[in-house]
Amino acid sequence: MRESLLTEQMAHEVLSACVGELKRAGSIPAGGVVVLGCSTSEVAGGRIGKASVPEYGEMIARAMLQSCAEHGLKAAFQCCEHLNRAIAMEEEDLRALGLCRVHAVPQPKAGGSVPAAAWRLMKRPALAMAIQADAAIDVGDTLVGMHIRPVAVPLRGEYRSLGEARLVMAYSRLPLIGGERAVYE
């Protein structure tokens, strides 16, 4: 791992831009939820799940929490498959959304470095079994799309990577139902 690969400022710059782009493109209202799935192994140039970097997890979790707060949105963090891709989030948000709470505490090697760091940074962290969020950011091919409310719309933003990891985003739109006689406005 190269020392200069990721800095706190870089993580904040990238995630703040992404959260802002998602909010605008998806017309996400204040209080909407953005899920982050992130492999610090990939950010560091390694293979997903094989070279976790807790220091990057701390930087990225802090940057995501700050970025969402700055944009009036809520942050949620997808755990890895060892915790069945559960979602780390503030307990009050979990309760407000009526989500199913599960019991575990994310660790760098069981949940992931980013959710583990977010857990320590949140006021009252909790794990949800799943969520249907307004938008998602996927850093390092973590398959976070399972946590976006249908219909997911891919968004190509200013940033395409964080460190060495690919970065993709999506927001949700309302499903269009009906046929040729349907009116949507």
For residue 56, give the CATH number of its domain: 3.40.50.10360
Q: What is the dihedral of CA 26, 27, 33, 36, to 10 degrees?
A: 30
pLDDT for 2: 43
What are the residues whose beta carbons fall under 8 Å from the beta carbon of 3, sequence distance 6 or more? none
Residue 182 lies in a domain: no
Residue 44 lies in a domain: yes
Residue 81 lies in a domain: yes
Output the pTM of the full model: 0.93
Report angle CA 145, 74, 80 to the nearest 5 degrees. Answer: 40
Residue 66 lies in a domain: yes
Half-sphere exposure of 151 (CA within 13 A, CB side): 6
Report strand pairing: 101-102 vs 135-139. unpaired
Domain total in the chain: 1
pLDDT for 1: 41
Residue 10 lies in a domain: yes
Residue 105 lies in a domain: yes
Domain that holds residue 105: 3-172
Per-residue pLDDT of the chain (185 residues; tens, 9 = 90+): 444 489 999 999 999 999 999 999 999 999 999 999 999 999 999 998 888 899 999 999 999 999 999 999 999 999 998 999 999 999 999 999 999 999 999 999 899 999 999 999 999 999 999 999 999 999 999 999 999 999 999 999 999 999 999 999 999 999 988 777 788 77
pLDDT for 77: 98
Locate all alpha helices (DSSP H) within 7-129, ordered by sequence. Answer: 8-26, 40-43, 54-70, 91-96, 113-121
- Max distance between CA atoms of the chain, in angstroms, equals 59
pLDDT for 31: 97
Residue 177 lies in a domain: no
Residue 178 lies in a domain: no
pLDDT for 151: 95
Check if the beta carbon of residue 10 is closer than 8 Å to that of residue 62. Answer: no
